């Protein structure tokens, strides 16, 4: 990819891919990963580089573009949407790394995909020139198709945790070539099975200092307004967009089913039932209202970031609140669609049962968990709160 595609071009690519992704959904589920040829096509199109700075070979797309693309891909298949979301959001690290690391990870391999786990479950011992890293991280979505993986670590120096100002343990994300990482097959789960979110592990691996980063302490080195937008907000928004896509797909499934299915004991198609009509309308309204709330919140924060202003703590809280509420509403919409499908929904060849399982896995992500309501509420009420990852 020599020229970064525009936002509209990315949306068009996602729309074109959606049908083929939907046709591959059963394969994605069975193989517990997105097929390599589909990953390669999405990589060539720039979908995994949506949030990488332009001068590092990325698209540096606006947040709304990311939301639209992820929703469209996830409408075809939730796991495919999730895989793109992880690859895209981890690409933000390119804005924080020194030029040498950015060139090595991104510029030198324009179609390479990044992934990994932010949570500091590993340990990074300070040595000359960098760190010796050991750790095991669960939930490393897309690890099988990544060229580079990252893992959050607590920093250890002189045999004890290194502390930041204020006394909290210092944490950093360590970035390593995928060839140096052990993938442990653990992803036997109820939904989003095609994300291949296995455990990853490294043992006593040297990581040079320039391949480590921490969003709340390191400066932004390149790129524009996108990197003034809250990083963890972007990740939470990505989850919300995937959930919206899953819900949209479930409604489409019901619309198709309702016109063809005649329920047992009935002479009329499912679509002729008043309960079906009300359910479809309720699910559609839930998705439309949540999308409108999400987009309005994102647009307001983007206006601040793109005009050079500082995104306030309240705006960060409202972003996370909108993302969390969107995921919850999307799950409700999928539940309505699943119930509307009746016994048809329970069979393996029904897309509705897969979407039901997928969306309820998305609800379990820590960035959109119910505790987010408490965190956002504390901020809105002006109470003290731990907001480092808000």
Whether the per-residue pLDDT at 76 is higher than 80: the answer is yes
- Fold observed for domain 7-95: Butyryl-Coa Dehydrogenase, subunit A; domain 1 (1.10.540)
Give pLDDT tens digits for 304-354: 999 999 999 999 999 999 999 999 999 999 999 999 999 999 999 999 999
Whether the per-residue pLDDT at 2 is higher than 60: the answer is no
Q: Do domains 7-95 and 114-213 have the same CATH topology?
A: no
- Kindly state the average pLDDT of the residues 347-365: 96
Residue 56 DSSP label = G
Q: What percent of the chain has pLDDT over 70?
A: 98
The closest of 215, 390, 225 to 304, measured between CA atoms, is: 225
The closest of 227, 216, 214 to 61, measured between CA atoms, is: 227
Give pLDDT tens digits for 244-257: 999 999 999 999 99
Quick one: tokens of 231?
């990083």
Whether the per-residue pLDDT at 3 is higher than 80: the answer is no
Q: Where residue 262 falls among pLDDT bands split at 50, 70, 90?
A: low
Q: Classify burial at 64, counting beta carbons within 10 Å of its beta carbon; exposed 0-12, middle 13-18, buried 19 or more.
A: middle
Whether the per-residue pLDDT at 267 is higher than 70: the answer is no
- Fold observed for domain 114-213: Butyryl-CoA Dehydrogenase, subunit A; domain 2 (2.40.110)
| 340 HSE (CA, 13 A, CB side) | 32
pLDDT value at residue 261:
65
Q: Are strands 171-177 and 148-157 parallel, antiparallel or unpaired?
A: antiparallel
Q: Where residue 1 falls among pLDDT bands split at 50, 70, 90?
A: very low
Domain map (residue ranges) of the chain: 7-95, 114-213, 229-380
Give pLDDT tens digits for 41-61: 999 999 999 999 999 999 999
- Kindly state the average pLDDT of the residues 101-122: 95
- Kindly state the average pLDDT of the residues 185-189: 98
pLDDT value at residue 263:
61
Residues 7, 12: Cα–Cα separation, whole Å: 9
pLDDT value at residue 207:
98
Whether the per-residue pLDDT at 265 is higher than 60: the answer is no
Residues 4, 49: Cα–Cα separation, whole Å: 9
Q: Are strands 198-208 and 182-184 parallel, antiparallel or unpaired?
A: antiparallel
Listing DSSP states for 83-128 in one string gives: HHHHHHHHGGGGGTS-HHHHIIIIIS-TT--EEEEEEEEEEEEEET
pLDDT value at residue 213:
97
Neighbours of 135 (CB within 10 A): 20
Provide the mean pLDDT of the chain: 95
- Residues 6+ away with beta carbon under 8 Å from 258: 269, 270, 271, 276, 280, 340
Q: So what CATH class is 229-380?
A: mainly alpha
pTM of the model: 0.96
- Kindly state the average pLDDT of the residues 92-108: 96
- Kindly state the average pLDDT of the residues 147-162: 97
pLDDT value at residue 266:
61
The closest of 90, 167, 154, 156 to 120, measured between CA atoms, is: 154
DSSP strands (E only) in the chain: 114-127, 130-140, 148-157, 160-161, 171-177, 182-184, 198-208, 212-213
pLDDT value at residue 340:
93
Give pLDDT tens digits for 159-168: 999 999 888 8
């Amino acid at each position: 990819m020599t020229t970064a595609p525009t936002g509209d071009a990315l949306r068009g690519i996602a729309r074109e891919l959606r049908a083929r992704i939907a046709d591959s959904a059963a394969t994605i589920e069975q193989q517990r990963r997105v097929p390599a040829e589909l990953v390669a096509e999405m990589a060539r199109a720039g979908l995994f580089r949506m949030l990488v700075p332009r001068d590092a070979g990325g698209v540096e797309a606006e947040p709304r573009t990311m939301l639209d693309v992820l929703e469209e891909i996830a409408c075809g298949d939730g796991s495919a949407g999730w895989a793109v979301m992880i690859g895209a959001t981890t690409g933000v690290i390119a804005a924080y790394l020194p030029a040498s690391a950015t060139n090595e990870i991104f510029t030198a391999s324009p179609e390479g995909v990044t992934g990994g786990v932010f949570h500091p479950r590993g340990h990074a011992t300070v040595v000359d020139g960098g760190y010796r890293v050991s750790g095991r991280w669960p939930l490393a979505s897309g690890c099988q198709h990544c060229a580079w993986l990252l893992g959050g670590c607590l920093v250890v120096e002189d045999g004890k945790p290194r502390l930041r100002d204020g006394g909290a343990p210092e944490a950093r994300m360590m970035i390593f070539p995928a060839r140096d990482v052990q993938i442990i097959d653990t992803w036997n789960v109820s939904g989003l099975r095609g994300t291949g979110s296995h455990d990853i592990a490294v043992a006593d691996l040297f990581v040079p200092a320039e391949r480590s980063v921490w969003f709340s302490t390191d400066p932004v080195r390149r790129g524009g307004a996108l990197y003034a937008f809250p990083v963890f907000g972007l990740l939470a928004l990505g989850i919300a967009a995937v959930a919206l896509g899953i819900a949209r797909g479930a409604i489409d499934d019901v619309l198709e089913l309702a016109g063809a299915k005649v329920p047992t004991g009935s002479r009329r198609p499912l679509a002729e039932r008043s309960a079906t009509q009300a359910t479809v309308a309720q699910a559609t309204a839930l998705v439309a209202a949540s999308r409108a709330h999400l987009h309005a919140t994102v647009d307001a924060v983007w206006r601040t970031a793109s005009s050079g202003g500082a995104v306030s703590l309240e705006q960060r809280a409202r972003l996370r609140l909108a993302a969390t509420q969107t995921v919850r509403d999307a799950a409700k919409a999928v539940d309505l669609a699943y119930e509307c499908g009746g016994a048809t929904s329970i069979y393996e060849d029904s897309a509705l049962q897969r979407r039901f399982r997928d969306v309820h896995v998305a609800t379990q992500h820590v960035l959109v968990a119910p505790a987010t309501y408490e965190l956002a509420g504390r901020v809105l009420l002006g109470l003290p709160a731990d907001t480092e990852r808000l």
